Amino acid sequence: MTFNAKLILTFVIMLSIPPLTSATEKLSIDVMSDARIFAQFDQDMPAVVSYFTESSEIDIVTFYSNIYGKPLQNETKREHLELTFANIQHNIRIIISQQDKFRQVDILVTLLKN
């Protein structure tokens, strides 16, 4: 097979592989039902959503564990609980911190590196 034939074959294969997230497809990031969202940048990667909730830390951890499975990492830093998850296409980092009577939840979604 010539170099040009290999190049054309590689290009055809690349075109046949669907993108991870299409340009028209909006990434959906789940939030608690009582979420008061104050930052939402989920049109592009990395995607970020930040919100306040009255839910307990345990309820938040349970909510995201039910969606993403068991956290790969669970660490407390400076009174912030940081959870790390991964699914087929994304790394998901969730940081939970106490803010008076509320919990602040910050979610960062990045593409999984191959």
Band of pLDDT at residue 11, cut at 50, 70 and 90: very low
Instruction: Please enumerate in sequence order all residues whose Cβ is within 8 A of that of 105, keeping only pairs 6 or more positions apart, or say none.
Output: 31, 32, 35, 50, 51, 52, 53, 60, 94, 95, 96
**What average pLDDT score do residues 101-107 get?**
96
Tell me the pLDDT tens digit for each residue of 20-78.
Answer: 444 434 568 999 999 999 999 988 889 999 999 999 999 999 999 999 999 999 999 88
H/E segment holding residue 20: none
> Which residues are paired to 106 by β-bridges?
50, 95
Domain boundary assignment for the chain: 23-111
Residue 83 one-letter amino acid: L
User: What's CA 96's distance to the chain center, in Å?
Assistant: 14
Is pTM beyond 0.85? Reply is no
